[in-house]
Amino acid sequence: LEINAVVQDGEVGPCLQVSWSWASGVLGERDMEKLSGLFVEALEAFTRHAAGPDAGGYTPSDLPLVSLNQAEIDQLEQLWRNDK
């Protein structure tokens, strides 16, 4: 089983393109339909989670203009949440 995925910029924004290839003697068309359907379900669940308020926070790569490690960022986020 080989899965290749790439995000490309499109007219309406980034677009995920996925291609699948497999040995037909090992996996059948129905197997691949089920597997790819589960893959899509997982991506949709991930997307729903990422859109939620508790989906995580910033990482050092999100803040290139400051020199903070992950622990420092987490502390600042906690302080900010407690100030609200």
**Residue 19 forms beta bridges with which residues?**
4
- Same domain, yes or no: 8 and 35: yes
- Same domain, yes or no: 47 and 9: yes
- Same domain, yes or no: 9 and 39: yes
- Same domain, yes or no: 38 and 72: no
- Same domain, yes or no: 26 and 67: no
Burial of 83 (0-12, 13-18, 19+ CB in 10 A): exposed
User: What's the distance, CA 20 to chain centroid?
Assistant: 18
- Same domain, yes or no: 12 and 27: yes
- Same domain, yes or no: 43 and 22: yes
Q: What is the pLDDT along the chain (84 residues), one digit of tens a residue?
A: 999 999 999 899 999 999 999 999 999 999 999 999 999 999 999 999 988 877 878 899 999 999 999 999 999 988 887 765
Structural domain boundaries, residue 68: 57-84
Domain count along the chain: 2
Q: Structure tokens of 28?
A: 């059948």
Q: In 3D, which of 32, 28, 29, 7 has the Cα closest to residue 17?
A: 7
Residues 48, 14: Cα–Cα separation, whole Å? 17
